[in-house]
Amino acid sequence: MNRSDLERLRDAREYVKYAIQDAGGLSAKALAQARQPQHATLFDLVVIGETLNKVSAELKAAAPSLPWKAVTNLRNIIVHSYWLIDLEIVAAVIEKDLDPLLAELTKLIEFVERTGK
């Protein structure tokens, strides 16, 4: 069953919230030592990347400020090059990038709900 862009955006937004919760403000060092939050956070980032990768090209073009490629690239590293995962980068993404991503996704969801696109 194919999911709509709106469903995918809602999924991504939900998993952004999960990643923020799962990391719980942990530093990279603490994240490296806390396997359960580390694995949960990495899974959340994979789901975010996977869902946003599947959003239509038309909708991606309507929201150029969203870091589509960066999110997908992070997902690809976690999934395909797991030995290259740098928890300093993961911690920085969670600390600096997820709140703005959450805001952008919320705006885009509201746009899609309003316009039906």
Mean pLDDT, the chain, integer: 95
Q: Is 1 a residue whose pLDDT tops 80?
A: no
Confidence at residue 25, expressed as pLDDT on a 0 to 100 scale:
86
Confidence at residue 116, expressed as pLDDT on a 0 to 100 scale:
84
pLDDT tens track for 41-78: 999 999 999 999 999 999 999 999 999 999 999 999 99
> What token pair was written down for 106?
């919320």
Average pLDDT over residues 80-107: 95
Confidence at residue 37, expressed as pLDDT on a 0 to 100 scale:
94
Confidence at residue 104, expressed as pLDDT on a 0 to 100 scale:
97
d(CA 6, CA 21): 23
Average pLDDT over residues 7-20: 98
Query: pLDDT band at 3, cuts 50/70/90?
Result: very high
Cβ-based neighbour number of residue 64 at 10 Å = 8
Confidence at residue 2, expressed as pLDDT on a 0 to 100 scale:
87
CB 51 within 8 A of CB 19: no
The Cα-based distances of 5 to 60, 74, 77, 117 in angstroms read: 10, 20, 24, 8
d(CA 82, CA 85): 5
